[in-house]
Amino acid sequence: MDIFNKINKTQIYDMVKEKGIYPYFHKLYSGQDVVVNMEGRRTIMLGSNNYLALTSHPEVKKAGIEALEKYGSGCSGSRFLNGTLDLHIKLESDLAEFLHQESAMTFGTGFQSNLGVISALVGRNDYVICDKENHASIYDACKLSYGKMLRYRHSDMKDLEIKLASVPSESGILIVTDGVFSMSGDICDLPAISGLAKKYNARVMVDDAHGLGVLGKHGRGTGEYFDMEDDIDIYMGTFSKSLASLGGYVAGKKEVIEYLKHNSRPYIFSASMTPANVACANKALDILKAEPHRVERLRHISDYMRAGLKKQGIDIVDSKTPIIPIYTYQDEKTFVACKMLLERGVYVNPVVSPATPVGQSLLRTSYTADHTEELLDEAIAKIKEVLTILNNYGAE
């Protein structure tokens, strides 16, 4: 059989394109901001992970330009060999200090960070236990490891304990969870997870990609939010969200980071972060440390939007983060809603099965510290208008 046979068959995206409701790959003619130029029209951006609004900050851009001029466009090698700059060392040191950890290391992407950590730590006789709603990179990382993966129902601590109790006593266990879940915006039950980890001699890894800059008084993430920073064995995160760049990181005990540096294949065999990306991330971290009011402003904006949507009777997933999903329930209805909103100058992200359970499709909206109440009021009115039309007349 030709391996390309699957390509020649009609795909769901072909059918969606034929209906004129394909929601992906829209062209941006401007940088990330609260208002962008998308497909040639003014558009309120409710789909970005630019939580602290730093991607266009003058100091962040200046840092990237200066690094590009001094070091060039890339490192032309891995961190393991010729690709370690003084910039990398400084960023890792500053990150470890900010997160109250002994050491940190950086990867080219956040996806790669999860691949690099889990595949290196979880061996043949080990178990990795995951929340069912963990990020896709965690699942791919489990496939790369030689260990056995077990999944527990989302945030179901009874099910987690059942899975933990099933592991042979001689096996190592790594519990992996998102800190803030990227689709629903809810927060993991770290106190319960930590308690079970201690009971069953397991280690805890938290993917805090959507937690850094969002949770905690100083924006340090899920650990700070629960006042449990010492209960997380491995911190993982990204620079592509609150820290306005591209790349990923891991932080923890020095001996753990040293082990990963010498055993993580995605780390050893990939080129290092570009100088401009490193410099931008480091400057964004400096701004986060110096301006913690950005975190508080982000909370205010998120709460304002939640209250406004509820006031209009719009069905949302109630969370405490800047990720606010709006239920549309049906895949096609979700695509139609995105199209209608974009035509009215509002961009939101469609989330459909299998990213959500069948019948639980939604519009994923997310917010930044620079959104204004006026912009949000405008967006709420348009969301209400579109959902009212769809509910009255259906998605046809």
Q: Which two tokens stand for residue 128?
A: 């990795």
Q: Which of 241, 283, 333, 371 is catalytic?
A: 241
Topology classification of domain 58-290: Aspartate Aminotransferase; domain 2 (3.40.640)
Q: Residue range 371-375: average pLDDT?
A: 98
Q: What is the pLDDT of residue 238?
A: 98
- 182 an active-site residue? yes
3-state helix, strand, coil in the chain (%, to 5): 40, 15, 40
Residues of the chain with CATH 3.90.1150.10: 5-51+292-393
Q: Which of 88, 163, 210, 283 is catalytic?
A: 210
**DSSP 8-state assignment for residue 123:** -
The answer to whether the CB of 279 falls within 8 A of the CB of 66 is: yes
- Flag the least confident range among 47-51, 304-308, 357-361, 372-376: 357-361
- 57 an active-site residue? no
Residues of the chain with CATH 3.40.640.10: 58-290
Beta bridge partners of 327: 362
Q: Which of 103, 182, 245, 366 is catalytic?
A: 182
Q: Which two tokens stand for residue 300?
A: 């205010």
Neighbour order of strands in the sheet with 203-207: 103-107, 248-252, 234-238, 203-207, 173-178, 127-131, 148-152
The answer to whether the CB of 248 falls within 8 A of the CB of 118 is: no
Of 295, 281, 213, the closest CA to residue 59 belongs to: 281
The answer to whether the CB of 51 falls within 8 A of the CB of 211 is: no
Q: pLDDT tens-digit profile of 173-202?
A: 999 999 999 999 999 999 999 999 999 999
CA distance 323 to 311: 18
CA distance 297 to 305: 12
Q: What is the pLDDT of residue 14?
A: 86
pTM for the model: 0.94
pLDDT(133) > 70: yes
Mean pLDDT of the chain: 95
Q: Which two tokens stand for residue 287?
A: 């701004």
Interhelix angle 136-144/110-121, rounded to 10 degrees, is 40
pLDDT(10) > 80: no
Q: What is the CATH number of domain 5-51+292-393?
A: 3.90.1150.10
Q: What is the pLDDT of residue 323?
A: 97
Q: Residue range 92-109: average pLDDT?
A: 98
In the chain, the N- to C-terminal Cα span, in Å, equals 38
Query: Which amino acid is it at 77?
Result: G
Q: Residue range 46-50: average pLDDT?
A: 97
With b meaning 16 or more CB within 10 Å and e meaning fewer, what string describes 350-387? bbbeeebeeebbbbbbbbbbbbeeebbeebbebbbebb
Hunting for tokens 């109790």 — which residue is that? Answer: 165
CA distance 259 to 105: 11
- Flag the least confident range among 120-124, 314-318, 327-331: 314-318
Q: What is the pLDDT of residue 317?
A: 82
- Flag the least confident range among 94-98, 285-289, 319-323: 319-323
- 300 an active-site residue? no
pLDDT(396) > 50: no
Q: pLDDT tens-digit profile of 320-343?
A: 999 999 999 999 999 999 999 999
With b meaning 16 or more CB within 10 Å and e meaning fewer, what string describes 3-13? eeeeeeeeeee
Q: What is the pLDDT of residue 20?
A: 93
Q: What is the pLDDT of residue 393?
A: 58
pLDDT(290) > 70: yes
Provide the H-helix boundaries in the chain. 5-8, 12-18, 58-71, 86-98, 110-121, 136-144, 157-165, 190-199, 222-225, 254-263, 265-268, 275-290, 293-311, 331-343, 373-393
Beta bridge partners of 323: 366
pLDDT(395) > 80: no
* Confidence band of 11 (pLDDT split at 50, 70, 90): confident
Q: Which two tokens stand for residue 332?
A: 């096609």
